[in-house]
Structure 1
Amino acid sequence: MDAVETWVDWTPVFRLLLVGTLLAAGPLLWVWLRHRGATPMQRLRALTALTLFLTFDLVLFGAFTRLTDSGLGCPDWPGCYGAASPIGARADIAAAQAAMPTGPVTWSKAWIEMIHRYLATAVGGLILVMAVVSTLERRRGPTPVVWAWLTLAWVCLQGAFGAWTVTMKLFPAIVTLHLLGGMVLLALLRWQNVRWADPALRDDSPPALRAALVGLLALVALQIALGGWVSTNYAVLACRDFPTCQGQWWPQMDFARGFELWRELGQQGSGDALPFAALTAIHYTHRLAAYVVLLALAAVGLWQWRCGQRERAWWLWGLGAWQLVTGLSNVVLEWPLIAAVAHTGGAAALVVVLSGWLAQPTRRRPGLEGSPTVARLAAEGQA
């Protein structure tokens, strides 16, 4: 019988899943050992908080991967030249580095890229466990089953965007969507984390203030998208002075080409090189939007202060100051790695903080007031 042609080599996929499973086993074992005397729901609550923390770290490491130009450290997916790690691909990596010493493929960049993939797979495994356990524990009381499975579906989509980031050679629109997907994943996990903490939690903020928080979160999301567009197009250094840009308050800018979404990195849709005026437009739009976001953070924080929510106000003002300092550092210090990663971290922290506040219901869930389940869960949260 003739040999059947192999269209897809699944070996790297299975190897990546094995590594991710081994990495996910560590946090799962830690939660089990630390909460040996706890109920399954308490363990699930702890696992949700730990997964949120690890996902935040993953977003930061993703920024580190992008900012060190390691996104194509292994130019195939999911393995590295078909191997499970750079160790098995050392001959291919050496050949690529010899052909282009400062190119996208080097030994260190390959490891950075693969570590990012390992961590992402491990987080996906933890989210899968959360979804399964949430379903199994539903008979014991209300659990966020829909949110858990939605989060699992989203992390799978996020993995697909990670693959497209590599296979489409850092296509700016795909890389930016991958960044936004990470922020959405943080918001989904934070939502579950808050709902697990206390099912009867109540937020007494005025409806108008909660509406303002929704608007603020939308504004932050837009600014993150603009920031991702700046980073993925390498437009950070298009303006190296502040508060002016290139010594002008309104430099020459090409918005049409700068915000042409579907195009290759460094190119226009026509295939011609992207002009510098387009990079300037990308950078300056993000800077102008930053002023609006900072004013909104200050205004909503003041509103919270007057409503007696002083701790929340300090969180908004503190994160706003953090973003201002790290953003300015990227410009005047010419994009140092630590400032760039810290800037992404501040944006992620804003998403976690705002989505956490909005996750708190404005009133007790219908039918749960005074129920034995709510009383038991509240007692477990205090135990």
Structure 2
Amino acid sequence: MNNNKPLLILTLILALGVISLGAYTRLTDAGLGCPDWPGCYGLIDVPKTQEQIIKAEMAFPERPVEPHKAWNEMIHRYFAGTLGLLIGLIFILSFKNREQGGPLYLPLIMLGVVIFQAALGAWTVTLKLMPIIVMGHLLGGFLTLCLLYLLLLRISKVRGSSNDAALAKYTPFAFIGIVILGLQIALGGWTSSNYAALVCQELPVCHDGWMEQLTFSESFQLIPPERETYEFGYLGAAERVTIHAMHRIGAMITFFYLAWLALTLFFKAQSATMKKASLIMGGILLIQVALGVSNVVFSLPLAVAVAHNVVAAILMLALITITYTLKPRPENAYV
């Protein structure tokens, strides 16, 4: 698999690009820019000619053609499809080279995840942006990226320094950090899929009286009432405030925990590598906080909101790097 390291790096970059495009599609309200799947109004691209547009609108009278939204959605699908093919190729190459001792189960898991991602992509359209499906699609993209990165770490035989052997006791704390960050990303996806990103425009949590509006049963109801569409949300103001407030509180918990972890590892590490990794994670964490505050202050500008998704993914990769390297490994270890 080492010979295919460039392929893995390319696929990893593409996965980050797909996450970016997915965020852009979601934030431009283009998730239903094409009302069918996998094509767009029955075409492999977007209706362009007047004849095509007329036929498309006759076939889907409830969804007039909006070319800019349709293109946003189709470009995302093209890139996601290419990513799926590359992951399939990685699995085939890993299977062919399995006797060389490289990890096979990770490519197999990735293949399963990307197939399920395709199903989620279809359900996103057929179930009209049901929040749990949209959030699941987001998390599936993050999981695909993380699995690719973990495979890259393993075939690169990244190892922790023997000088930092005493830091191995912090491995469980790093795993807890991954869980906390993963839950916060899920909260972000739930906030976005329920169109709750702009309901709180004051810091640090929300406007006056927000605590009296908290209601959890409907705010976090995973299977919503059946509706013709969930586009632009279906929850009331109180439910959206609850979702947004929990995301803000989650952000504070995530920040303080990861900041503590980064500072602890930095001051206790003996190797320059671990100190650098801790500094990088701390720096990415500060950038993410700045982006989150900017989303509030400037009312969710598109570029900042997309960057907030991308930096969350990069922060997770930084945390995975630290977790993976905390415990020294022998030269020939893949785990």
Aligned counterparts of 2:172 and 2:55: Cα–Cα separation in 1:
52
Equivalent residue number for residue 10 of structure 1: none
| TM-score, normalising length: structure 2 | 0.88
Give the AA of the match of 1:134: S
Aligned counterparts of 1:297 and 1:104: Cα–Cα separation in 2:
46
Aligned counterparts of 2:125 and 2:243: Cα–Cα separation in 1:
23
Aligned counterparts of 1:304 and 1:165: Cα–Cα separation in 2:
41
Aligned counterparts of 1:68 and 1:93: Cα–Cα separation in 2:
25
Deviations for 1:64-116, whole angstroms, at most 9, x for unmatched residues?
A: 010001110001111112211114784158748x978xx78410111111111
Identity of aligned residues (%): 37
Rg larger in 1 or in 2? Answer: 1
- Deviation of 1:252 (Å): 1.9
Deviations for 1:165-199, whole angstroms, at most 9, x for unmatched residues?
A: 11100000010011111111111101100011127
Q: Given the alignment of the two structures, is residue 237 of structure 1 paired with residue 198 of structure 2, yes or no?
A: yes
Given that residues 196 and 241 in structure 2 are in contact (C-alpha distance below 8 angstroms), is that contact kept between their aligned partners in structure 1? Answer: yes
2:132 aligned residue (160, 165, 173):
173
- Deviation of 1:160 (Å): 0.8
Q: CA RMSD in A?
A: 2.7
Give the AA of the match of 1:155: V
Distance verdict in 2 for CA 1:144–1:227, change over 3 Å: same
Given that residues 93 and 106 in structure 1 are in contact (C-alpha distance below 8 angstroms), is that contact kept between their aligned partners in structure 2? Answer: no
- Deviation of 1:319 (Å): 1.6
Structure 1 spans left out of the alignment, 5+ residues: 1-40, 375-383
Distance verdict in 2 for CA 1:77–1:189, change over 3 Å: same
Distance verdict in 2 for CA 1:361–1:292, change over 3 Å: closer
Aligned counterparts of 2:203 and 2:2: Cα–Cα separation in 1:
50
Structure 2 spans left out of the alignment, 5+ residues: none
1:194-273 correspondence to structure 2 within 5 Å: 194-198=153-157, 201-202=159-160, 204=164, 206-248=167-209, 250-263=211-224
Aligned counterparts of 1:357 and 1:92: Cα–Cα separation in 2:
55
Distance verdict in 2 for CA 1:173–1:92, change over 3 Å: farther
Q: Given the alignment of the two structures, is residue 281 of structure 1 paired with residue 242 of structure 2, yes or no?
A: yes
Q: Choose between structure 1 and 2 for higher RCO, CA contacts under 8 A separated by at least 6 residues.
A: 2
Farther off after superposition, 82-91 or 145-154 = 82-91
| TM-score, normalising length: structure 1 | 0.77
Distance verdict in 2 for CA 1:264–1:317, change over 3 Å: farther
Equivalent residue number for residue 317 of structure 1: 282
Deviations for 1:25-69, whole angstroms, at most 9, x for unmatched residues?
A: xxxxxxxxxxxxxxxx44411111111111011111100010001
Aligned counterparts of 1:349 and 1:338: Cα–Cα separation in 2:
16
1:46-65 correspondence to structure 2 within 5 Å: 46-65=6-25
Q: Given the alignment of the two structures, is residue 91 of structure 1 paired with residue 53 of structure 2, yes or no?
A: yes
Counterpart secondary structure, 1:112: helix
